[in-house]
Each structure stands twice: as structure tokens, then as C-alpha cells.
Structure 1
Amino acid sequence: MTRIIVLPGDGIGPEVAAEARLCLELVSERFGLGFTFEEHDFGGAAIDRHGVPLPEATLAACTAADAILLGAVGGPRWDDAKERPEIGLLKLRKALGLFANLRPARIMPGLEEYSPLRADIAAGADVLVVRELTGGLYFGEKTLEQDRASDLCTYTREEIERIAHVAFQWARQRSGRVTSVDKANVLATSKLWRRVVSEVAQDYSDVALDHLYVDAAAMHLVTSPTRFDVLLTENLFGDILSDELSVIGGSIGLLGSASLGTGGAGMFEPIHGSAPDIAGKDIANPAGAIASAAMLLDHLELPSQARLLEAALEQTLREGHRTADLGGAVGCAAFGARVREILDGAAAAPRAPAHVQASL
């Protein structure tokens, strides 16, 4: 049995997570995979019911899981909470040792018109952001006084080395290029970052490495996104740049992500927020959550099923099924239903033996 923990979370989280879960349930049924699903409170919903964003029962379930599917967390209603919902997310990542955040973004052929960039600039963009998740400003010591505040940014050699290895290993499976982002002309942590990444690169002679300051990287993402293959960043820079990158494809609602460690459960979630203003209206885009479900299947070493789900998602979009963020009128549930209809047909079709599939 494969145990998948579902954390619906807040805002539109339950809506998009439900569509992704239904896709995984279909895959499990059609291929006899034996997935089991458990839902647990997390984020603002957990604050409402338990007083904390990460209850002990939720943490215990996630620790024992094979994979975790997350909807979204946060919202203004918890601004005055002792611990905001996002703190639960940081604690969960830390507790599970999820140090590597993978955020792939590409322009789907035929959907260039939805990019805010000119089609000739956007066409062919395919970038994987590899973001360090457990260090930097988000986890540093914090002080907040009436007229003064500070956030400590700290990185160790070990933290930088392990995320750099992830980036170089992924580059070997892609186009063989890593761009490391820092602010080494100003920040001490970035000076260490650049030095350590350059040292790790010596183990990957087949991968090209270049360095960019974060401000230059932000500019190139919107003027020449095809120059990037794998974008390696520290925590804060990765958070900002991956959100910038997301709109190149037309909507932040399209992109999924994976948070991985050295073993155990990975966590899979769309990169968008909880969007409380549209929650419960059946207009959210579940594509990012469904894309995350495909990444979850890859994590479980089910690449054929992952490709089927990705193909069903892309076909749904190419057919013109668009949610409100893409200028369409298709609802969240209807979009998910169409993905599953295509997926079901593909799963039922005769398939070549595994050794033949691998060579296609």
C-alpha cells in the first residue's frame, strides 16, 4: 500500500487538492497501485480547529507517509494568529528535511498567446527552478521591536552543497546548464554560495555553469527566458523568481512543485497561494495541483503514469478548457473532470510492453 496524506489547507486549497486527488485515485484504480488517502488539518484550518497550524497528529501522519499532497495555506483571517498558517509550512518542511524545492515552468506549445511576453520571446521557454528550502532569511533569528527589526540570513557549506548537487543532477537530465543566482557583490552568504557552487560544479564536467546576480536574473527571465535551463537559488530569491517565472506561461495557477529531501515522503503542491477571495466559487485553476500530482507519481517511481497525467492536463488546455485566470469560463471541477476523462481513455488504451515503452 502507498500512503498519501492530503492536506487541503485554506482558501482554494481544498478545491484544487480535491481535483488532484481524484486524478491520483483514477491512476491508482486503473493501474492497481493500491494508493490510500488520508486528509489532515493543516494551516489556517488547523488553527481554527486545534489552535496551531501544524498539529502533532498531522506531523505524525506526514512523517509516516509515502507522499504528501498539499492544497494551499494562509489568508488574512489569520493575520493576528499567534502562529500564522505559513509557519506550519516552514515547520513541516524542516521536520521532514525537505530542503530542495523543484518548480518547473515551461511554455506549452500552442499556449504562447497566454504569456504576457511576446510569443517569439516566450516560445520554447522551459526552466526548472531548484530552490533551497530550509536556510536563509526565512529560518534565521528574528527580532521585532517598535522601531527596529532584523532577520538573520545564514547558510552553511553543507546546505549549499546538497542543493547544488540536486541542481547539477537535474541538469544532466535536461539540457546540461545550471545558472546559479546570488548577490555576491553585496551579501556574505552569497559569496559563500558562489564559491561552494563553483566547487561542486567541478564534479559535473558535463554541465555548464554560469552565475547571475538576482537582479540580472529577474531581468533575463522576462527578456530572454530561453537562456535558462536549471536555475539554482537560495530560499528567498527562489521564492520570488519562481513566482515571476510562473506568469510567463500565462498564469501562476498552471504550475506545480515538489519539495524533496534525502529520503522519505516528498511534498507536492501548486505554487499559488490560497486566494481566499475566490474560494468556494468553483473558479480556481486546478492545473497546478494536478501538475503536482504528476510530480508525486514521478517521486513514487511511476514515470509512465506521470506522463499520462501530464499529457491529459496539456490536452485539456490545448482543447480550450480554460479557467477564469486564463480568460475562460470553465469551473475548477469541470476542468478536473475533463483531465480525468482524457486520462481514463489513455489509461484504458492498449499499451506497449514496458521494455518497448522505455525506448519510445
Structure 2
Amino acid sequence: MRIAVFAGDGIGPEVIGEAVRVLEALGIDGLELVEGDVGGAAYRKHGHPLPPETLDIARSCGAILFGAVGDFSLDHLDRQLRPEQAVLGLRRELGLFANLRPATVFKGLEDLTTLRPEVAAAIDLLIVRELNGDVYFGEKGIRTLEDGRRQGYDIMSYAEDEVRRIAHTGFKAAMGRGRRLCSVDKANVLDTSQLWRDVMIEVSAEYPEVELSHMYVDNAAMQLVKDPGQFDVVVTGNMFGDILSDQASMCVGSIGLLASASLAEGTFGLYEPIHGSAPDIAGKGLANPMATILSAAMLLRHSYQLEAEASRIEAAVSKALADGVRGGDLGGSAGTREIGDAVIARL
């Protein structure tokens, strides 16, 4: 059970440290953790945010536990050398095409969201986001027009096999949940979205038990605030999914509680909290590690099929929250290490 541990920048090493302590506390036989450099930390040490030795480590492991990347002091670099390219590079090189972001309100935290408590309490959804296509990976650049004006362009595109692959991921997830899937697009404006919708309908024929619905992305953003309890599984493209999953995180109270999984074909995956590197609090022991700890639970579930161990971690986090152990992001005063201790004590 060889797991790559890429802590990254900012609060990454702090939150990763607590997740590693939780994994080790489970006493899993054969657990081996291998550290590697990514992001700004890797650039300073190796001259690149995703050096070859880090990729070699990733390819030798069954899963990756990832912290965070981002360093404002390196924003002057060419885009391909900026810390964030580590994540995009891993997705591309390792075929990580499906991002799973669950969003659930933990019992007792309903009053901490910006929604009415009774609205927030109903949230239990999973956003399935395609990761390898869309404008993030399409042709892009800045050019000069004939009249001298500069023009930026980013091409949005999806091939039908890319849509079909993420559709199957979404429908399979729905089969294990409430058997309702909402496909989010902008088919009234974008031809890319029209193809997306057509393929989703085609794939739905293979999953007659799942109820398929469609929603334009602007309406989906509104409905996530108005009535988030209506959603079970949401499947959408790269850019729309990036936006909606962050919106969902605030609907449940804090971005510090949400884990994510980026999956390839088979069992390989990269697991990370959805928050950033938070350089303003880095090194102060203030970061909430719960999202990273919950990401470790997803790693055990999806890459190693260790459901019992994953459930133990999730139950321990839930119990710690119910007992009032909360970081600053939840209005509490518990520090990073204290939160890790609390979760381990409840295992």
C-alpha cells in the first residue's frame, strides 16, 4: 500500500501532516508513504513545479495524497512554471479525468452556513466534474488583431468519448446514492454543451434505474443556493464544475471541510482538500486539516476499497465536530495539531 504524499505550499505541509498521522493511527498493514515536491516548493528546489522525480514517485504509487499549491510571490513566472501547473500536470500525465466533490452539512453546523439552517440541513450531494477537457486544456493564447488590439482566446471543446467517460462515472456514482443525476450545461448557447447533453442522454439508456435531468449552469448556480437539497449527483464540465463545486463548499459552511478525489481509469486517484494554500496563515498552526483528513478517507475508499477504515475516519471527524472541536474557519479556536489530536482520539 504505497501512497505518494505531496504536501506542496502554504498550509499544505501542515494539513498533510495531520492526515498522515490519522492514516498511521489506523495501523494498516503494508502502509508506505513516499514524499515528493510539488508547486512553488518544487520550483524553488528543482526549477519546475512538477519535476520528473515527483512524477516518477506518483507513477510508482497506488494513490496520491495532495496538500495545496500556490505562491503569490511566483505569479511573475511564465504560466508553465507557476505552482498551479503541478496539479494540471498530474491530471494530464496520470489520466485523472473525474473529480468527485461530496458536499454534506455535518450535524450541528447548520447555523454556520450562509443559508437558512433548514435549507442547509438538506444538502447531501456529489459533484462529478470532468477534468481533462474544456477551456482549461484547449488551445489558448493572446494575439494581436489587424487593427492592433490584443485579444485573448481560450477554446472550449469536448470529444464525445470524453463526455461518455465522465457520464459513466456520474451514473455509477448515482447508482450508489439516490439514483438521481442532474447534468449541468449551457446547451442553449454552446455547441459544446449541446454535444454534452446529447451524449448524456445516450449513456442514460444504460442506466434505466437512474433519473436523468438537465439544467443550465446559471440556473444550477441559483438552485444551489435556493434549494440545494434537490440535488443528488451533479455531472458537469471542467469550468462549470470548478465554479459550482466551490459554491457548494460555502453552502455547507466552510471550504475547510470539503475533500475531493480526482480519479483515473481503474483505482488510481489523487486526493486533496478543495481549499488553497492560504499563505496568510501558513506556518501559524491555524489551518483546519479536516478536509485533508477526509480526503485521506476518500483515498482509502476509492483506491484501496477499505470502506470500514474510511468510514472510521469520517465518523471520527463528525464526532469531533459534534463535540465542539472547530477551527477558526468554523468560528472556533482549535489549532491544526489540536484538531488532528481530536480526530485521532475519536478513532
> Equivalent residue for 1:40?
36
2:105 to 107, 113, 123: 107
Alignment check: 8 A CA contact 1:75 1:275 kept? no
Q: Deviations over 1:187-242 (max 9, x none)?
A: 11101000100110111110001000000000000110000000001000001000
> Equivalent residue for 1:301?
305
1:95 to 76, 93, 96: 93
> Equivalent residue for 1:71?
67
1:1-360 correspondence runs (5 A): 2-27=1-26, 29=27, 32-82=28-78, 83-145=81-143, 147-263=150-266, 265-299=268-302, 300-343=304-347
How far does residue 264 in structure 1 lie from its aligned partner after superposition? Answer: 5.0
- Aligned-partner residue type, residue 10 of structure 1: D
The two structures, once aligned, show a CA RMSD in angstroms of: 0.9
Q: Which runs of 4+ in 1 moved over 4 A?
A: none
Deviates more, 1:106-115 or 1:193-202: 106-115
How far does residue 64 in structure 1 lie from its aligned partner after superposition? Answer: 1.2
How far does residue 144 in structure 1 lie from its aligned partner after superposition? Answer: 1.5
Whole-angstrom distance in 2 between the partners of 1:122 and 1:264: 32
- Aligned-partner residue type, residue 56 of structure 1: P
Deviates more, 1:304-313 or 1:141-150: 141-150
TM-score scaled by length of structure 1: 0.93
How far does residue 154 in structure 1 lie from its aligned partner after superposition? Answer: 1.2
How far does residue 91 in structure 1 lie from its aligned partner after superposition? Answer: 1.1
Whole-angstrom distance in 2 between the partners of 1:41 and 1:254: 24
> Equivalent residue for 2:147?
none
Whole-angstrom distance in 2 between the partners of 1:220 and 1:75: 34
How far does residue 265 in structure 1 lie from its aligned partner after superposition? Answer: 2.5
- Aligned-partner residue type, residue 228 of structure 1: F
Q: Deviations over 1:75-110 (max 9, x none)?
A: 211101232111121111111111000000011122
Q: Percent identity?
A: 52
Alignment check: 8 A CA contact 1:62 1:265 kept? no
How far does residue 19 in structure 1 lie from its aligned partner after superposition? Answer: 0.6
Match of 1:85, SS state, is coil
Unaligned runs of at least 5 residues, structure 2: 145-149
In the alignment of these two chains, the number of paired residues is 339
Whole-angstrom distance in 1 between the partners of 2:34 and 2:206: 41
